[in-house]
Amino acid sequence: MKGPLSYLQPGRNTKVSDQSETMSFIPGQPVTAVVQRIEIRKLRQGEHLILGFSIGGGIDQDPGQNPFSEDKSDKGIYVTRVTPEGPAEVAGLMMGDKVMQVNGWDMTMVTHDQARKRLTKKNEDVVRLLVTRKSLEQAVKHSMM
């Protein structure tokens, strides 16, 4: 994994440093996670720009029903489905990823609709996500041992 980053403080501009620690999630406390940067170019389909994946979660949703989260109180935005050969899959997004940032905007403390809106802005044809997944954490832990 080249250059994993870690990431602090949801809801504000993040300082990015190179230490990696276990992912913890306590609302109100700074979050540290090992993230991967994914750049997705939207695909034009008629008059729509699509990314090719589906999201679930949000602070207005019931986190217990999220099959991908480790911590069942995690109200973050998770990738629930990736369209095969869609722009998201091509860019390396995987099902089960938790989306931490979209184009610099925080996604750990947003409603479902806010998250959807941030991904589907019409004037942006590329979205840069910071996503985290368990395998990244493990890879970093192994490389540090």
Residues found near other proteins in the complex (CB under 8 A): 1-3, 5, 13-18, 37, 41, 45-46, 48-58, 61-62, 65-68, 80-87, 89-91, 94-96, 101, 103-105, 112, 115-116, 119-120, 123-124, 126-128, 130, 139
CA 40 to CA 77: how far, in whole Å?
Answer: 17
Q: What's CA 140's distance to the chain center, in Å?
A: 18
For residue 31, the minimal CB distance to other proteins (Å) is: 15
Positive or negative torsion for Cα 131, 132, 136, 140? positive
Count of CA atoms in the C-beta half-sphere (13 A) of 121: 12
User: DSSP class of residue 62?
Assistant: -
Minimal distance, residue 22 CB to other proteins, in Å:
19
Q: Which is nearer to other proteins, 13 or 24 (CB)?
A: 13
Closer Cβ to other proteins, 28 or 85, answer by number: 85
Q: Which is nearer to other proteins, 25 or 97 (CB)?
A: 97
Residue 143: CB atoms within 10 A of its CB come to 10
**Which is closer to other proteins, CB of 48 or CB of 141?**
48
